[in-house]
Amino acid sequence: MKRFLIAGNWKMNKLSEDAEEFVRGLRAKMLPNEKDVCILAPFTLIAGVGKALEGSAIGFGAQNVHFEESGAYTGEVSVPMLKELGITHCIVGHSERREYFNETDDTVNRKLRALLDAGITPILCVGESLEVREAGGEQTFVAGQLIADFSGLPAADAAKVVIAYEPIWAIGTGKTATPEQAEEMCAFIRGVLSGVYDNATGDSLLILYGGSMKPGNAKELLEKPDINGGLIGGASLKVDDFAAIAMAAASL
């Protein structure tokens, strides 16, 4: 049976009252697939979101983390700090982190290791730019990210990583990734990791689509064989939209 994860990435949005109101509204929807849903909140909101989710199977987590347990890293947050809050998931290597904050495949790899050691599920983001896509190098580029990011991870750990494909070339460019293009890259990602590890590991992976999934296109995307859910940006900020996407997954 196909598994799903619908993950809401709030990015740098919402304040405490709004976040807790959102969680109350989401819980009121009585989603049949709560365990397949999670919310990735800004650091300041994580504790409140976790408290508002008590008694629910909905997961919650962070959008970034530092790979060291402690130290002189002003402004950073460590895995033990997040673990103390009870988080279930954490985004690693989001395209915005890579572009604006100099995230590299080396730091991504170290963050993956730290999260896995703590029993927290990483959501690893990979994806190519418009320049790379137009040059026909998208598969080479994404394969390179995957190989570097998973470097040194045994198959048992690799199978615990959720992967989110972000078509950076279709975000804010006026171009649109079709469901067929999304499926093609998600299938390619599965194939790369099947080659690095084995078919059983590749087949077990949850691979999400991170390119503007909305209520209107969710079902068509989620029906694709290699798409196991979505890393949802804008649509995760509205209860009705986010719940509709979760319900689309639950219907399949």
Backbone angles phi, psi at 115, to 5 degrees: -65, -45
Is position 166 annotated as part of the catalytic site? yes
User: Could you tell me the end-to-end alpha-carbon distance of the chain, in angstroms, rounded to an integer?
Assistant: 10
Neighbouring C-alpha atoms within 13 Å toward the C-beta of 206: 20
Distance of CA 128 to the CA centre of its chain: 16
84 is catalytic: no
182-201 residues labelled b (16+ CB within 10 A) or e (exposed) = bbbbbebbbebbbebbeeeb
| Residue for token pair 């078919």 | 199
User: Residue 212: left (phi > 0), alpha (psi -120 to 50), or beta?
Assistant: left
3-state secondary structure of 177: coil
Written as six digits, the tokens of 141 are 């580029």
Query: Which one is catalytic: 34, 96, 138, 166?
Result: 166
Structure tokens at 137: 């190098």
What is the rounded distance in angstroms from the CA atom of residue 94 to the CA atom of residue 72?
24
**Residue of 66, 94, 96, 138 marked active site:** 94
Q: What are the catalytic residues?
A: 94, 166
